[in-house]
Amino acid sequence: MKNHTPLWEVFIRPRNGLHHKHVGSLHAADASLAIQAARDVYTRRGEGNSIWVVPSAQIVASDPQAQDEMFEPADDKVYRHPTFYDIPDEVGHM
């Protein structure tokens, strides 16, 4: 079963102008069946108007073992957040 129906990652765009968002994965024999399966599994309640599917095997992921060196260095660099400005009242909500 597994060899005949590889895993696909599904991305749905909820509305025009928004970006596609990862919603889950599914098994399908090929690209067009994967699109149909994504439609049947993930858009039953009007979740979107565009679907992307990508073979899961094609996704390159960061190494979970390397979390310390990849992400921790950003933790103490609060000055990278744009929160050190006084916003004049006239600007209103930003």
Sole binder of other proteins in the list 18, 36, 50, 67 (CB under 8 A): 36
The full 3-state SS of the chain, as one line of letters, equals CCCCCCEEEEEEECCCCCCCEEEEEEECCCHHHHHHHHHHHHCCCCCCCEEEEEEHHHCCCCCHHHHHHHHHHHCCCHHHCCCCCCCCHHHCCC
The window from 11-19, 37-45, 47-55, 57-65 that contacts other proteins (CB under 8 A) reads 37-45
**Residue whose CB is less far from other proteins, 36 or 67:** 36
Site for other proteins in 10-29 (CB under 8 A): 26-29
Residues at the interface with other proteins (CB under 8 A): 1, 5, 26-30, 32-33, 36-37, 39-41, 44
